[in-house]
Amino acid sequence: MDPTEEIATGKILFYFLEKRSAKIPKELKNRDLTKPNEANEQVQKEILKLYKSSPEVSILFELMTDFDEGLQEWRYRHIKLVERTIGAKHGTGGSPGVPFLKESLFRPIFHDLWAIRHQM
C-alpha cells in the first residue's frame, strides 16, 4: 500500500470512530501526513470501548484485521515471487527491489487493531 492510501485509510478510520462518539486526539487528525500512521493509546481505548459496546462494529474491526493480515501475507508472497524472478536486481519501477519490499512486510495498516489484541 502506498503512503497516500495509508493516509486515506487512517483518516477514514478516524472519521468512522468519531461518528461513533470516539474521541480522537486533535494531534492525530492534524498530523504530518508525510509520516506513516502509528499506534496510539487513546485510539486503542476508544476502539476497545466500541468492541465491548457495539457488536456490529466489533465484527467490522475483525474484518479489518483479517484484511490487514491478508495484505501482509500477500506482501510476503510478492517478495518471494520477486526474489525468484529478479533476485537481487533493482525493481521494475526503479526501486531497490526486494529490500524495498521487505520494509513494508510487517507494517500493518491498522496498527491500533493489532495493538489491542492482548486486551480483548
| pTM, to two decimals | 0.81
Query: What is the reported pLDDT for 86?
Result: 87
The pLDDT score that the predictor gives to residue 117 is 93
Question: Domains of the chain: which residue ranges?
Answer: 3-119
Tell me which H or E stretch contains 100. Answer: helix 98-103
Q: How far apart are CA 96 and CA 90, in angstroms?
A: 5
DSSP string computed for 39-90 = --HHHHHHHHHHHHH-HHHHHHHHHHHHHHHHHHHHHHHHHHHHHHHHTTSP
How high is the pLDDT of residue 7? 54
Grid coordinates of 56: 456490529
CATH of domain 3-119: 1.20.58.480
Closest by CA to 65, choosing from 6, 104, 110, 20, is 110
Classify residue 110 as exposed, middle or buried by CB count within 10 Å of its CB (0-12, 13-18, 19+): buried
> pLDDT digits over 8-66, tens only?
677 788 889 999 999 998 888 888 777 777 889 999 999 999 999 999 999 999 999 99
Task: Tell me the pLDDT tens digit for each residue of 76-93.
Answer: 999 999 999 988 888 777
